[in-house]
Structure formats: C-alpha cells, structure tokens
Amino acid sequence: MTDLQAILDAAVAARHAPGFSAAIIARGGDRAAASAGRRGADDATEVTDDTLFWIASCTKAITSVAALQLVERGLLDLDAPVGDRLPALASPRVLTGFDADGAPVTRPATAPITLRRLLTHTSGLAYDFASGDLAKYLAATGETLMSASEPDIPLMFDPGQAWLYGIGIDWAGKLVESVTGQGLDAYFTENIFTPLGMTETTFFPNAEQQSRRASVSQKRDDGSFVAIPFGMPGEPHFMMGGGGLYSTAGDYLRFLAAIAGGGAPLLRPDTFALMMSNQIGDLDAGVLESVQPMLSHTFEPLPEVTRRWGLAGLLNLDPVEGRRATGSLAWAGLANAYYWADPETGAAGVVLAQIFPFGDPGVLATFEAVERAAYA
C-alpha cells in the first residue's frame, strides 16, 4: 500500500490545504491513518489523528441510515407524503419565475414530497450555493437557509422530476425527530454511534473536543489561506441532518467500515441492498453548478462513469479504474471533506480538510491519490 503519510505531506507542501487528516481501509482489510500540516491559517498546531473536523454533508449518509432504520421498523414509509409529520412540507409550491418587480412567482406542486424524494435529492428542494434560482429567491425575500428552524422556501421543480442537491436530508432529519421524539443527536448516539464505537462524532463538541478542532480557512486566488470565523451553531438548528456533524477521520471510518462491510449492524441486508441501488432512474446525479464561487467550485465527481443516487449518496454504476468498484457509495462535505465506501472489495476511506471553496482541485487530487493507495 502506498505511503499515506507521504501523500498528505506532499499535499501540504503543495499548499492544497493548511492541513489534512485521512483514514482508509485498503482492499484486503489493512487499515491506515495519517495526518499532516497545521489546523488552520490561524492555528499552527499540528494536525493529528484526533483533530476534529466539521464534516458537513458527510453527515447526510448517517441521517439517511437513521431514516432507513425507521423504515425497517415500520415507522416510516419511503413513498408516503411527509406532510402529515412535517406540516411545512404538506403543500409545497414550485418557483416558476419572478414578476416585473422581482417578486417570486410560485404555483402548487403537482406531486407530494416523500422520504424517498428527500433522500435522493429529487424533492425539488435546493441549496442556494448550487441553484441560481433559489439564490435569487432568497435575495428577493431576505430569507436564508439558516434564518429559521424550518425555512419556508419553494421547490425548484415538481417532486420526482429532476435531481438537484439541496436541503432534503435536513428535512429527513426532522422526520426522524418527529417519529422518535428524540433529538437527532440522541438518536444517532443510541442507534449508530454507540453500536459502531464512534466516540468522536457529534453535533455539539464538548470543551475538550473544541480544543482539538481544526479551523476553517478561505483559499485566496494567490493560493494563500486566510482564517474565517465559521462553525455550526451551538444549539439545535435546521442544518443538522444534512451537514451539522463534527468528527475525526478515524471515527468516521468506523461508519464507512459498516457500509463497506454490508451494512451490519446498522441495517438488514435487504435494506442495505435497497440503499445501495439506483433510486433515480436515468437521472444524472452529483454535479453541482456553483453560483457562489467563494463557497464552492462547480463540482463534477467521476465524470468518466455513469452516476446515480441511492438512498444515502452517490453511486457509480461503472468501475473506476484503479479505484472503487461498481456500486460504491461516496459523497463529500462543503469544507473539502470526501469519502467513499466499496462493499465489493471492502475498501473505504475519508480525507478531511477545512477550506473553502468546495471542490478544490488540489484536495480532490489528494483524495484520488489516497483512494488509489487503498487499491494499490
């Protein structure tokens, strides 16, 4: 197996990010972890294997598993309208444009929002950094996705008609809370973190964990980094199920190991097989067209293969040469965190950085090198 430490050291030397942490399970079962660089542009402390990172949308796969556990128990139905439990989604409306004064124009949606559509990003809900129409709507109304516990925003299309990355899995987290009567943090701890021995993954880092946190940096045009004040709110907030968790590379690998190992002890084999199967037909998935370049580059993962979405993340329907096998699960987090889990070979891995914009070419190249190391 290629030296993981050398890959990260080279990435820091190339100024792809101030620091990195990574952990992998190689094809064949060997495990490795490495860290390099410093915690941030404002923190010269060395990144170590216990450095805590905001993992952002890497949270989504965990929330998706939680929802599927409730489907297994008969408490949720993938294809039932969610409006009975989430009144804010009971009568969705679709944005059709803007009038002469710039005010949004909407119409009632022609189909309901369901859990399946929330989990597959086919509900019509969007993120403003990847939807110019939603960004224009929020500017016209003065709203933000973080300004309310249940933001009232329109759909970008009728549910089921397209794939667009958005806040659907935050609503899936709200659905888990509604059904169980627990906060999402408590549900995760009881049903996912404790069974897997995940002790460093949390929405709310304690004081000791905060002392080990990497800071978020902005990459400037000249390749230098400047620290920016950033962190999830310290109280429960809307953007939780879709992006609120902090973790370490090694702790998140425990979750990926369960995925690469077939889903146990989290899901039954039949549920796991459903989660890892194409749920969106012929729709392409995974491409994010950025409309906020300071936050994200346009992102197109694995352009050489057919991409689809299961019930927990991106699936490649073709093998990637030298990397993951067909049917692997993968996705990412906004501050340049990336993972994959390959049930066919048992390989998995995660690379964590803390920089904006998302989709940084250097970090993506580092992630590819780490993944290739797991198969070498």
**Catalytic residue among 127, 137, 165, 339, which?**
165
- Dist. CA 104–CA 96, nearest whole Å: 8
Q: Which residues contact 97 (CB under 8 A, 6 or more apart)?
A: 104, 105
The sign of the dihedral angle between the CA atoms of 166, 170, 172, 174 is: negative
| Backbone torsions φ then ψ of 353, nearest 5 degrees | -130, 180
> Which among 372, 351, 374, 375 is positioned nearest to 362, based on CA atoms?
351
Judge whether 60 counts as a catalytic residue: yes
**Catalytic residue among 35, 60, 64, 246, which?**
60
Judge whether 123 counts as a catalytic residue: no
CA 341 and chain centroid, separation: 14
DSSP per position, 84-100: GT-GGGSS-EEEEEE-T
- Residues 347, 296, 285: CA angle, nearest 5 degrees: 55
| Backbone torsions φ then ψ of 45, nearest 5 degrees | -60, 135
Pairing verdict, β 355-356 and 217-219: parallel
- Dist. CA 217–CA 3, nearest whole Å: 27
Active site residues: 57, 60, 165
